[in-house]
Structure 1
Amino acid sequence: MRTSGSRVTLAAFSALAATTAFTAPAAATVFNQTVSVRSEAHIDADGTITLSGTYRCEQPSPDGTIQIKAALVQGDVHLGIGAGRAVCDGKDHDWHAHATLAYTPQVHAGPARVTAELQEIHLSGLMPSSLDTVAADEKAVEVVDHR
């Protein structure tokens, strides 16, 4: 019995489509996420530093939430700052991260590197089960001191 080439091709594509449909992860993230860092960070009169930028994200998977994390590196100082939970509606939003310099007084006016990340936290009940970085930006910034 002889099978035509088009039938074999059709069968192969059907099998591939079925495999793809049944092996896709149930909690897949939509990867239309972006985050950016502004080129300046500011130290306010009260000794608080502010990092900022923009982000855009889609609704995370049903068992997850998106948070924004920022970090500043200047010389030997590494300052990590949480910027809060993201609003994931597909629109552009500003983010701001604030931290006191009481424990890192070495941060000063001048060049630094800032990294921002959108992180998807997957929950298992009330506890986080995994953390995935879905977007990141790193930029050389100028720290401006307003004290």
Structure 2
Amino acid sequence: MRLRPLLGAAAGAALLLLTGAAAAPAAAAPTPYEAVTVDKVGKIAADGTVTLSGTYRCQSSSGPVFVSSSVSQGVSTTTYGIGGTRAVCDGAKHRWVNKGRPMPGALVPGAAHVEATLMELRTFGVLPLPRFHATQGQAITLARG
């Protein structure tokens, strides 16, 4: 039996563990108990505050879970983060509402695209790493309101 290849493999595994590369969780496929939706109409106030909403469901978590959302318009590659809501993972369907005010004039009433993400922060050692429960992209209309 050759000892050198075995030592090399052990050293490589130890290096992965030390750098945390092996500690990251594999992305789990969403189940019907882990979902996020986006309402087809969002609101944009006169002062530019955007309100987005929808529903979410998650079964369980070991760390804090949040529903985040972002919005873009037209052919622009700029996406604006719109708030974040703390989620309760109890298997029941819940509503989420996020509000935020991007740069003045950045968004206007009309067609837009929203991305909503249901994400958990799990601690591995001292480092919090994300675990994505669900994500949803949705074409919406931003209406005055």
**What is aligned with 2:118?**
118
In 2: Cα distance, 1:123 partner to 1:79 partner: 27
Measured after TM superposition, the shift of residue 126 of structure 1 is: 6.3
- The CA deviation string for residues 99-119 of structure 1, in whole angstroms up to 9 with x for no partner, is 013x24220011010010101
TM-score by length of 2: 0.70
When residues 57 and 45 of structure 1 are mapped into structure 2, their CA distance, relative to the original with a 3 A threshold, is same
When residues 145 and 126 of structure 1 are mapped into structure 2, their CA distance, relative to the original with a 3 A threshold, is farther
Q: What is the DSSP-based 3-state SS (H/G/I as helix, E as strand, rest coil) of the residue aligned with 1:115?
A: strand
- The CA deviation string for residues 41-83 of structure 1, in whole angstroms up to 9 with x for no partner, is 10123331101100111121x3x22111101011324111232
> By percentage of residues, which structure has more strand?
1
- CA contact under 8 A between 2:48 and 2:107: conserved in structure 1? no
When Rg is computed on C-alpha atoms for both structures, the one with the higher figure is: 1
Q: What is the DSSP-based 3-state SS (H/G/I as helix, E as strand, rest coil) of the residue aligned with 1:88?
A: coil
**What is aligned with 1:13?**
none
Residues 1-147 of structure 1 aligned to structure 2 (within 5 Å): 31=31, 32-60=33-61, 62=62, 64-75=63-74, 76=76, 77-101=78-102, 103-124=103-124, 127-128=127-128, 130-146=129-145
In 1: Cα distance, 2:96 partner to 2:126 partner: 26
In 1: Cα distance, 2:44 partner to 2:83 partner: 17
Gaps of 5+ in 1: 1-26
Q: What is the DSSP-based 3-state SS (H/G/I as helix, E as strand, rest coil) of the residue aligned with 1:108?
A: coil
In 1: Cα distance, 2:104 partner to 2:68 partner: 18
Q: What is the DSSP-based 3-state SS (H/G/I as helix, E as strand, rest coil) of the residue aligned with 1:137?
A: strand
What percent identity do the matched residue pairs reach?
Answer: 34
RMSD over aligned CA atoms reads: 2.2
Q: What is the DSSP-based 3-state SS (H/G/I as helix, E as strand, rest coil) of the residue aligned with 1:107?
A: coil
Gaps of 5+ in 2: 1-24
Measured after TM superposition, the shift of residue 127 of structure 1 is: 4.4
In 1: Cα distance, 2:116 partner to 2:54 partner: 8
- The CA deviation string for residues 116-147 of structure 1, in whole angstroms up to 9 with x for no partner, is 0101211246641x11211111111001023x
Structure 1 runs of 4+ off > 3 angstroms? Answer: 27-31, 124-127
The letter of the residue matching 2:114 is V
